[in-house]
Amino acid sequence: GGNLFMVALTGPVVRLRQKLLLLLLLLLLLLLLALMVSKLFVLMFSQIWQAALGALNPNPTDSCPLYLNHAAVAAIPSRVSRHNSQSSAHFVSRLVRSCLPGGNNRCIVMVCERSDVFASSCAIARAFPIFSRRSTSLRRAEKKHVTVEFVIIGQETEGFSSVQCLANAAHGVRMAARIVDTPCNEMNTDHFLDEIKAVGTELGITPVIIRGEELKQRGFGGIYGVGRAAEHPPALAVLSHTPEGATQTIAWVGKGIVYDTGGLSIKGKTTMPGMKRDCGGAAAILGAFRATIKQGFKDNLHAVFCLAENAVGPTATRPDDIHTLYSGKTVEINNTDAEGRLVLADGVVYASKDLSADIILDMATLTGAQGISTGKFHAAVMTNSEQWEVACVRAGRSSGDLAHPLVYCPELHFSEFTSAIADMKNSVADRENAQSSCAGLFIGSHLGFDWPGVWVHVDIASPVHAVSNWGFGVLTHIVQSDNALIFFYYYYYLGAKRW
């Protein structure tokens, strides 16, 4: 009986050992196979990678698909001209839009120098606009996730002290682009005020709002005159950040024309489409203000929004009408399509008179002539300070929101606005005489050309209209610190003490 019992036990044990040996051999074979595959994969991927790099011939950019279009490698120019950004931000956005594979989870790896990280991150963010009314996008329930990684090369290879800086900048850019892309039936003056209130709530700031007939009663003849014919009333709105220990006061003033028909000097069928973007200056200031305060800005900062719809109706301003602006100066209207300067004149004077600003920057999609002066990619900058002019250009190159100076010469150009019956007209006599400069001078004249503070005017008309979803202008606002005038985000990014 004992022997039979042992035999009965021994059979299963032997078979179990045989199975274990076979399993072990199989695992060894799989391990060897995996090792061979990994070696071959590294070799094959290395060959594919080298072949892809060899195929790139950037002129100015180029790209090459990898592994059945599931990945791509792209190159930007290694050199740029002195009036471009070293980051090649415009090319980065184009390449991301055109080369990024589909799917809900995607990854972008950017190899660049540390000084280009800020501009490159914002350029990548611009490739993913928020606003869309395509029926397919409305039906799509799932969210898409994009991971962005930076490999920093060059002499300065240490990482960023705060990735949140990049996130705030990207949020500001995409917010501005969303507002500018939204049509007037969804972004009238009431809607824009809601955007301002939402940012104020997030930052713990209650906006000051003057609107409708109150504008007229308080002397804001520019904003009221432009927007009084619209269904939704015009408004002046202000967000103010006033921390303890502030040593200077800065005001940003934005043109927020939510739609510009041209008024009674009406635009044609080819020039009116796209005028939803005429609020680009105000949108840029809103995005920049949120991002700057999020980063803990130490000085007084005011964002002034001049909101109106330049509509046609029984109460619309007529050519030959005369308006008294907040400065107390009278303006004979000879072109109702030159409305942006009227609302901004009220805004900058409010910044000086009511907010006691030391530095005033106004930003606007002001003139079609800006594109003739500085093109589709460079904002036009004019200022009463040579130091700030240099700083603005440098800021544009650092951020990717490029800028270039306009002529500042009021003693030669302001006579273009001469009126026989008012202090000035609102449009130039000779449209071939530095028209963009003259438009800026109109705004500055209400401060006074002897005003002791710093005044900067930025015309972003062509950059806002020419590049869809760009959110231009958020990155070009500037501050003064330690007698060094530099781009406000770039200043933070370098770790300056004032932030």
- Choosing from 126, 178, 255, 341, the catalytic residue is 341
- Choosing from 97, 267, 294, 394, the catalytic residue is 267
Where helices occur in 306-413 by DSSP H, the ranges are 340-353, 369-374, 386-399, 410-413
d(CA 436, CA 440): 6
Q: Tell me the backbone φ, ψ of residue 254, rounded to 5 degrees.
A: -120, 135
d(CA 29, CA 16): 20
d(CA 281, CA 176): 9
- β-bridge partners, 191: none
What is the SS3 assignment for 113-142? EHHHHHHHHHHHHCCCCCCCCCHHHHHCCC
**CA angle, residues 480, 484, 487, in degrees to nearest 5:** 65
Task: Check residue 234 and report its DSSP letter.
Answer: P
Whole-number Cα distances in Å, 483 to 79, 173, 292, 420, 479 = 31, 27, 19, 43, 10
267 catalytically annotated: yes
For residue 428, give every residue at least 6 positions away whose Cβ sits within 8 Å of its Cβ, in sequence order, or none: 416, 417, 435, 438, 439
Pairing of strands 330-332, 322-324: antiparallel
In this structure, how many other beta carbons lie within 10 angstroms of the beta carbon of residue 141? 5
Structure tokens that stand for 16 in this block? 């179990």
349-365 in b/e form (b: 16+ CB < 10 A) is bbbbeebebbbbbbbbb
Looking up tokens 């000084």 gives 115
d(CA 328, CA 325): 5
For residue 237, give every residue at least 6 positions away whose Cβ sits within 8 Å of its Cβ, in sequence order, or none: 193, 196, 207, 208, 209, 210, 211, 304, 305, 307
d(CA 349, CA 351): 5
**CA angle, residues 191, 169, 472, in degrees to nearest 5:** 65
329 catalytically annotated: no
Task: Check residue 148 and report its DSSP letter.
Answer: E
- Contact between 380 and 406 under an 8 Å Cβ cutoff? The reply is yes
The number of helices, as runs of H, and strands, as runs of E, in the chain is 16, 17
Which residues belong to the active site? 267, 341
